[in-house]
Amino acid sequence: MSVLQIQIIISAVTALLVMAGISMMSKVKTAVAGNLLSALAMLIGVVATLLFAGVVSVWTVYAAILVGALIGGTMARRVQMIQMPQTVALFNGLGGGASALVGILSALRIGFSNAQLAAIDEGGFWPFVQCTALLAVAVGMITLVGSLVAAGKLHRVLPQKPIVWKGHSVCTLIFLVLTVCFVIAGIFVDSGAMGVCLAGTLVAASLFGLWFSVRVGGADMPITISLLNSLSGVAGSIAGMAISDVFLVAVGGIVGASGLLLTQIMCRAMNRSLMSILLGGGKKSAPKQSLTTDSQNEALVKRVMDLEKKIKELEELVKNLEGRVQTLSAQVDAAEAGKDAAAAAKPAAEGPTAASVLSAAKDVIIVPGYGMALAQAQHQVRQLADKLESRGARVRYAIHPVAGRMPGHMNVLLAEADVDYEKLFEMEAINDDFKKTDAVVVIGANDVLNPAARNAEGTPIYGMPVLNVDEAPEVIVCNFDLKPGYAGVENPLYSRGKGVYLELGDAKETLARLIAALG
Amino acid sequence: MIHPLILVSVFIVCSVLGYFIIRNVPSLLHTPLMSGMNALSGVTIVGAIAATGLAFLADKGVVAQIVGCLAIVLAAVNVFGGFGVTHRMLMMFNKKKK
C-alpha cells in the first residue's frame, strides 16, 4: 500500500469520526461526547498531516499552534454566555481568514513539496490548483470580513441597523462579479499573472464581504451567522482541494452543507428568502417598492422610508400615551376597589394587576426574546418560574426558532440559568396550547409574537409563523418599551387592552418587582 | 497529488452526508451545533500546517513563512476557541441531569 493510500484511508476514517461526532450532537445526552469526538478527530487529522506532509521537524509550526491555542482557549473560558453570538462570529471569521491565507500560499505555489509540484506539472493540474486557490481566497475573505462586521454589530461596536450606501445593490453585484471573474481567470493565466488575479480576488472579495454584511440588520443576524459558518466550511474545503488534502475537503464539505441547512431552517422560520437578506430586498419598504429598487429609485424609496419612520415614531408616542392611560386607569380601578390602597399611593406600582393574574394562574407559558438577552434577565426569569411552580403552577417556555440573535440563543441563556431543557418547547409543539393556558409572560420579545404577521400584507413579517400569544386570555408583557421590533411593524397586541398587562422597563427590574409582588 | 475529480467528488459526497446528518438536530441544540460546526471549520489548520511546514522546509522566504504562521494561529484560535465554547455550552445543558 502506498503512502498516499494510507493517507486517504486515515482521512476517510477521521471524516467518519467527525460525522459520528456531529450526529451525536443531535441528542442532549450524547452531545458532549459528540463534541469531544469531533475534537479528537481533528487532533488525529493534525497529527496525520504533520506526519504525511513530512513537516514534523518544523518547530515553528508547534509554536504557532500553541499561540493560537492559548488565545482561543482563554477566550473560550473567559467569554460570557451573553457574548456568545459575537464570539462564534469572530472565531468563524478567523477560520475563514486562515483558509484565505492557505489559498494565498497555494496560489503563489508556496507550500507544496517538490514531489507535489512535479505531480501537478505532470498531471497538468495547475488550472485546477490556481482556480481553487483563488476561490479559497475569495470565500475565505468574504467569511473573514463578513464575520468581523457581524461580530462588530453584535458587540454593538457598529450600528445594528442596516447600513445602505449609495448604489448599494449595484456595487454589491459588481464586487461579486469581479470576484468571480478573477477566480475564473485563475484557470487560464500562467504563474506570472497569478499575482494580479490574487490581488484582484483579495480586494474584490473583501469589498463584497463588507458591502453585503453592513446591510444586514440585527434580527437577520442568526441567518447571516449561520450562512457565514457555512461559508467558512466551504472555504476550508476549497483550500483543501488546492493543496490536495482529502481530510480538509471532507470536513469542510460537511460543515458547509450543514451550515447551509441551518440557514435554510432559519429562513423558513422567518419567512424570508436568503436572497432578500443578502441583497437587502423586502426590508422596511413594501414588496412592490423593493422589487423596483434600482439606483434611480433608491433615493425615492429612502424618502418614503424616512416618512414611514416618522409616522411610526408618532404612532409610538400615541402608543406610549395609551399605555400610560391604561396603567393609570388600572391604578384608579384598584384604588376604587379599595383592595390595595398602597398601589394608588405609589405611582410606579403597576404590579398588582399582573401579579394577581399570575398568582391565580395554574398554567403559565413564558415567551423570551432578544430583550431578555439584552437585559440579562434569564436568572430573574428562572426565579419567577420557580416562584410560580412553588405555588403549584405549571410553567413552560415557548421558544420561537429565530428569537434572539443566533439560532438557539434563548435555549443557551435559559440553560445558563439552570432551566430544565424539558420545559423548553419549540413553536410547533406549544402553539396550540396558548389558548388553553391561564397566562403568558412575554419577556423582551416582539416580532416573534406579533399577530400582524398573519394579516398585515406587505410588511416584512407578513407570513412569518408567530407564537399565538394573542390567543391567551391574560398576557403580561415585560418589554423595555412599546416600540416596534426590528421588523418595524406595530404590535396590535399591545393596544388590545383587555387581558394585556404592560410592565415596561428593564426586564430585570420589572421581573424582580413581579416576583416580589407574588410574595 | 490526488486527482481533482476525486477531490471534487469527496466534497459532494460529504456535503450530502452532512446535510442529512444535521436534519435530525433539534432546534434546542442549534447554538451548540453551530458553535461545534464553527470549531470544525477551523479544520483548515490542517492545510495551514502542511503549507507552512513545507514553506519552511523549502525555505520560500520570510513573508511566506509569516503568512503561514498567521494562518496556523488564526485556525488554532478557531479550533481551540470553538471546541472550548461548545463544550462549555453543552455542559450547561447537562448540568441538570446530575
Is B22 within the bounds of a domain?
no
How confident is the model at residue A334, as a pLDDT? 64
**pLDDT tens per residue across span A479-493:** 888 877 766 778 888
Is B87 within the bounds of a domain?
yes
Alpha carbon distances (Å) from A368 to A82, A399, A478? 14, 7, 10
Is B85 within the bounds of a domain?
yes
How confident is the model at residue A349, as a pLDDT? 44
Asked whether the beta carbons of B74 and B44 are under 8 A apart, the reply is no
pTM confidence score? 0.77
Q: Mean pLDDT in chain A? A: 84
Give the domain extent around B57: 29-97
Residues on chain A touching B71 (C-beta within 8 angstroms):
97-98, 101-102, 105
- Cβ neighbours of A465 (radius 10 Å): 18
Give the residue from A50, A105, A139, A261 with the most B CB atoms within 10 Å of its CB, the best one to mutate: A105
Taking residues A270-297, what's their average pLDDT? 54
- Crossing angle of the two packed helices B62-94 and A59-78, in degrees rounded to 10: 30
Between chain A and chain B, how many beta carbons pairs sit less than 8 Å apart? 416
**pLDDT tens per residue across span A447-461:** 888 888 888 777 767
CB proximity B66 to A under 8 Å: no
Residues on chain B touching A244 (C-beta within 8 angstroms):
1-2, 7
Burial A46-56 (b: 16+ CB within 10 A, else e): bebbbebbebe
How confident is the model at residue A493, as a pLDDT? 85
Is B76 within the bounds of a domain?
yes
- Pull the grid cell for residue A514: 413581579
What is the domain count for chain B? Answer: 1
How confident is the model at residue A495, as a pLDDT? 81
Task: Identify the CATH class of A302-518.
Answer: alpha beta
Is B11 within the bounds of a domain?
no
Is B80 within the bounds of a domain?
yes
- Active-site residue list of A: 447
How confident is the model at residue A301, as a pLDDT? 72
**pLDDT tens per residue across span A226-250:** 899 999 999 999 999 999 888 999 9
Ordered by start, the domain boundaries in chain A are 1-78, 97-279, 302-518
Residues on chain A touching B63 (C-beta within 8 angstroms):
none
Comparing A337 with A232, which gets the higher pLDDT? A232
Per the DSSP assignment, residues forming a β-bridge with A424 are: A397
> In percent, how much of chain B has pLDDT > 90?
36
How confident is the model at residue A31, as a pLDDT? 87
Is B43 within the bounds of a domain?
yes
Name residues of chain B where pLDDT drops below 50: 97-98
